[in-house]
Structure 1
């Protein structure tokens, strides 16, 4: 499978002393971006990621003083499991954040995993985005903020190495695969339309993949995070352990712990 990388934008890279500092900074930055979007456009559309790193960020956002009725929440990927399942990204987010704030139910758009097939779910979620954003193909919805993680293998959202989802250039939502388990995922096309994309990456296990994602020449089918090059701003927030995988040529801002 050959996947052509997009035209790369110049990301900003921020390195924090440890995961705790990364989480605190990410929460502050996301809250600031949410406020900026509301001030500029009267609302904020935010696509969330799953995993362990974002959970404390969501818990911190839940403590913020925000106009919740102007915030619209979506998920960049989801496992094809019931909403009550322990592996559900939406379940984690409700428990950490959404059930603790006065956000209208109509502003929350979980992936509908109670369908007869993953493809049906992908079709329904794409229609949800079309209705919510008032956008139809060939145009693409533009999210204010998309949060992403990166796996040890270089995947992001549910865009896994050497899977068919990487070659999807027409749809906004598609079916990804991990170990023959279906996932519902944003496509690179949809992610790359966003105003702000923020990667949150922690741990020494990410070093090898980061070295290839930031390499001048590497295979995007093997390291799918290389496909992310949004029209807007791209931020990478790393802890020190993960950052050791960056090539020495990559410019970065190192944030020291406050004494």
Structure 2
């Protein structure tokens, strides 16, 4: 794993740097493998990034979009990560509908929908049971409780290692989420974190020793590159190493 930490002066600079990095990794993946697979996160900070990506001139037909997690709501619900990304980015560019791979939420059975999406991932990536797909880019945020994707503190989803997609739980509300092993198999994992309310959790995530069950973002240790892009408000008072092999 290669870990790279960058602190940007403002949230606007954070979005600008995130746009440059994601565009670079998309271009790199397409040059090497002919397509790029990217998994999106929800939240207000990624929304600004998606709006910026929508202004770019990228080969949309070669980009396949997934989600790292999804609230268990219909796709037209205000809380839907899919809806947010479509409005901010996907509906504004000429990307083929077949290149968009949302998590299903219509079965009234989160576990069944998680299993369906896992089958869809295996079919798309042509990986058999026991193997893990490799995403080019997984975008992640982090909550002020240290959660990422829908991997919340002290929940069963944190320890699922035999599936690609599982059911997360937020205050009794189910969500679908990539599992830790799937995220960690990515070529590039990019955390985008802004705001002073993230300082306490970041201190634990970056600490030499802390409980990963309490701060799940610590579990994300990908086989490829791990990027932490932070604004100054989030990174304040952290003793950061800017990069490490």
Q: Given the two structures, how large is their TM-score scaled by the length of structure 1?
A: 0.92
Cα deviation, 1:183-229, whole Å, max 9, x if unaligned, reads 00000000000000000000010000000001111000000000000
- Among 100, 113, 122, the alignment partner of 2:114 is 122
Q: What does residue 13 of structure 1 align with?
A: 5
Runs of 4+ off more than 4 Å: none
Query: How many equivalent residue pairs?
Result: 243
1:68 offset after TM fit, Å?
Answer: 0.7
Q: Is the 8 A contact 1:209 1:245 kept in 2?
A: no
1:10-159 paired onto structure 2 within 5 Å: 10-159=2-151
1:116 offset after TM fit, Å?
Answer: 2.6
Structure 2 unaligned spans of 5+: none
Higher mean alpha-carbon deviation, 236-245 vs 86-95, is at: 236-245
Structure 1 unaligned spans of 5+: 1-8, 254-259
CA RMSD of aligned residues (A): 0.9
C-alpha separation in 1, matches of 2:183 and 2:218: 12
Q: What does residue 206 of structure 2 align with?
A: 214
Q: What does residue 5 of structure 1 align with?
A: none
Cα deviation, 1:24-69, whole Å, max 9, x if unaligned, reads 1101110111001000110000000000000111111111111111
Q: Is the 8 A contact 2:2 2:224 kept in 1?
A: no
C-alpha separation in 2, matches of 1:115 and 1:136: 24
C-alpha separation in 1, matches of 2:51 and 2:128: 34
Q: Is the 8 A contact 2:38 2:135 kept in 1?
A: yes
Q: What does residue 235 of structure 1 align with?
A: 227
